Amino acid sequence: MLRNFLVFFLLFSSLNLSAQHVFYGERTADSTKLALFFDRYGFPYPDHLITDSSMITADGSLYTWFMQNGEAFIGISAAYELFPERIDHETIARLRDSIIAGRIREINARSAQFPAVAFYVHGFRKQYVSKSSDVTSVEEFRLVKANLATYGKPQALEVEVYWDGMYDCCFSANRKKNKQLFELYETAASNAKHVGLSLRAVLSGTQTDHLQLVSHSLGARVATVALFNCIPVARNIHPTPSQQRVSICLLAPAIDGHTTFQHWHKRQSTLDVTAKDNYRLLIVYNEDDFVLRKKDPKTGLFGPGAKRYGETSLGCNYKQEAVELERYFNEHYPHSTIRLIDKTSLGKAHSFRYYASGEQLREVSDFLWEY
């Protein structure tokens, strides 16, 4: 019992709150930055007040919320120049597509003024509004963008991607509670797949020659699903990004390397990526990252490990998984670029903000702007 308490106190220390979705319906509009907001099923939030309390009733689903709030659905649809006579799957899907199209227009209205468009994706257990001592996704994005701006590179048009990566505290001294937390991670991983497919539509519709995508932790699942068919997808799914240059950085990726990248060339694209790949991949790993290793930080002996309750093995180079992936790329994808950066020097640190300290992102910045 004491072992479990130590693992979870240090791994996810926080206030003892009940498990919850992360909502964005009460956000304050900020015209100074571009941002995307998705619910647990990848449905984009409209520019409309949707209370957290009502989203709790809808179990974190905007689709369910619309079905429960018919008048509000009609009003929100009208704001997007849609005038449905009924509320069903088809009319709600039209609203979803209209919201996404609007976000793409917002990005493209500014993109021509920048040499690249950069998307940033956070990971698991990130609050949007501070309710505890944990650093919010908003603050971590601010730190990362500020750090990248210090290396003298061109300025990209920056887009922040917020999604329901779930949030729960982990201050627990019993095995049952500990198991619930890891199961919550599995729920967040499922959410990430839905969000990735919606993000794909935005990425593919963005008008730029150079697309950049930087993710942290479980955000790598959002990113990979957006970029290639690492999960089964419908035939009519949105095309994958076909910009001339797509620079991808996965920081401490909380995903499996072996199975995920067997699908690297499976894309909805008209490009012949086997001859000349428009994607370039950078993986930043930390072998001592105790969150990805899922082991207690003191002895490294207690905990389920990187392969249970959602695979997190790539970001900690579990059994040389990142190194083996580089070899796999060289053998199977000779026209694709893959780079590895070993940040084990960070020690047991995992959070996004640790990568935004000092010179930690210099090599990432160099990779993103390398031609």
Lowest-confidence region among 13-17, 248-252, 320-324? 13-17
305 burial type by CB count under 10 A (0-12 exposed, 13-18 middle, 19+ buried):
middle
pLDDT at 176 over 90: no
What is the value of pTM for the model shown? 0.93
Q: Which of 180, 159, 186 is nearest to 168 (CA)?
A: 180
Tokens of 230: 């690492």
CA–chain centroid gap for 177, Å, is 25
The SS3 call for residue 199 is helix
pLDDT at 112 over 60: yes
Banded model confidence at residue 19, pLDDT cuts 50, 70, 90: low
pLDDT per residue as tens digits for the range 246-265: 999 999 999 999 999 999 99
pLDDT per residue as tens digits for the range 260-307: 999 999 999 999 999 999 999 999 999 999 889 988 777 777 778 899
Tell me which fold the domain 2-45+115-368 belongs to: Rossmann fold (3.40.50)
Eight-state DSSP code of residue 263: G
Tokens of 3: 């072992």
pLDDT at 13 over 70: no
Tokens of 95: 């609203």
Mean pLDDT of the chain: 91
Task: Give the separation between CA 163 and CA 233, rounded to whole angstroms.
Answer: 20
pLDDT per residue as tens digits for the range 213-257: 999 999 999 999 999 999 998 877 899 999 999 999 999 999 999
Task: Give the separation between CA 357 and CA 140, rounded to whole angstroms.
Answer: 11
* Annotated domain spans of the chain: 2-45+115-368
Q: What pLDDT is recorded for position 170? A: 58
**CB-based contact 158:118 (threshold 8 Å):** yes
DSSP states along 64-125: HHHHH-HHHHHHHHHHTT---SS-SHHHHHHHHHHHHHHHHHHHHHHHTTSS-EEEEE--SS
Beta bridge partners of 35: 160
In 286-356 the beta strands, taken as DSSP E runs, fall at 337-342
